[in-house]
Amino acid sequence: MTSLRGRHLAAPVLAVALLTGCTSAPEAAPEPVETTASAGGGDTGTVQTLASGLESPWSIAFIDNSALVSERNTGRIVELTDDGTTREVGVVEGSAHRGEGGLLGLAVRDTDLYVFTTTDTDNRIIRYPLNGDAGSYTLGNADIILDGLPASSYHDGGRIAFGPDGMLYATVGDTGSRTAAQDIDDLGGKILRLTPDGEVPADNPFPDSFVYSYGHRNPQGLDWAEDGTLYASEFGQDTWDELNVIQPGGNYGWPEVEGIVGQAEYVDPVQQWDPANASPSGMSIVDGTIYIANLRGARLWTVPLSDVTTSTDQLVGEYGRLRDVVEAPDGSLWVLTSNTDGRGEPSSDDDRVLRVVR
């Protein structure tokens, strides 16, 4: 396995600039547009547009009264404050957009921002201290927490999240190397677990390995139920997209199997969908319900924890491709559209941050 340790970069790697690039004040958000959306599963709730004009947004992370949004193609981190203004915090130096790669997942721990990004040579996780306050955040020097992760123009994974155990979890796709997913010594096709400083936790299922689970094709959603159960959403190939309960050391079958197969050596998904109706990306668990944002399916799947074999679709076709869904501090859901990623049909307002009040 590649040795992957944090290295401190002495100089700041972010240049702070405003979103407009030529004014001294943050850009005002559009007036919220409210609609009552329903499709498939009935009344979704009130939907507001909080921000528009973003380019390929990928992930949202909240800190205090602000939300930080990553833009995959540009490598920018954009701050959306509680009064509806947006500003560019900076650009991640070395972030390289190629196909599905670029600036992907974000996670916040205390006053540190963690990012998952593609470079010209690899995927890596970088930590930045957040300086300042809401509405004026800047980032300090960068620590490379984990580098040498496989990268490609597709199947990069890229979601990162802190679990209730305080460990950092990261999804890594097979990056087109199907055999990697079954190889414990290869970090492709895995869900990884590491300490906040980039070390291997002593209680990981495989000795001296970041690997937490394997046999994944392209997982992009992670969240935990209140009882500590970890769920993950995963892109299949042509047959089934999946919702999985993640077990330490579990083998989820790719590329040997796809979907529910009932073979003892593999962990079956608890639910599967036709890729035309899914392509699941980010997910969030709120008040006993799993919410999953879907790209090709252009909908929000909702799965009750009381019966994870069932699901209802909402927002079907209302806003195009959906990349991420997270719970905001006020209990609402924030949803990222993904229509400017080269595969959607963007409107004049895309891409957007939507607020759904259930």
Q: What is the pLDDT of residues 292-327, one digit of tens each?
A: 999 999 999 999 999 999 999 999 999 999 999 999
- Find, among 200, 203, 201, 175, the residue nearest to 190 by Cα: 175
pLDDT value at residue 358: 84
User: Within 13 Å and on the Cβ side, how many CA atoms surround 193?
Assistant: 23
The average pLDDT across 212-238 equals 98
Task: Calculate what percentage of the chain has a pLDDT beyond 90.
Answer: 84
pLDDT value at residue 22: 30
pLDDT value at residue 14: 28
Q: What is the CATH number of domain 53-330?
A: 2.120.10.30
Q: What is the pLDDT of residues 147-188, one digit of tens each?
A: 999 999 999 999 999 999 999 999 999 999 999 999 999 999
The average pLDDT across 19-47 equals 46
Q: Does the structure show a pLDDT above 70 at 124?
A: yes
pLDDT value at residue 40: 42
Q: What is the pLDDT of residues 238-259, one digit of tens each?
A: 999 999 999 999 999 999 999 9
pLDDT value at residue 125: 98
Task: Calculate what percentage of the chain has a pLDDT beyond 70.
Answer: 87
pLDDT value at residue 43: 58
Q: Does the structure show a pLDDT above 60 at 265?
A: yes
pLDDT value at residue 319: 97
pLDDT value at residue 19: 30
Q: Does the structure show a pLDDT above 90 at 280?
A: yes
Q: What is the pLDDT of residues 327-342, one digit of tens each?
A: 999 999 999 999 999 9
Greater confidence, 43 or 15? Answer: 43
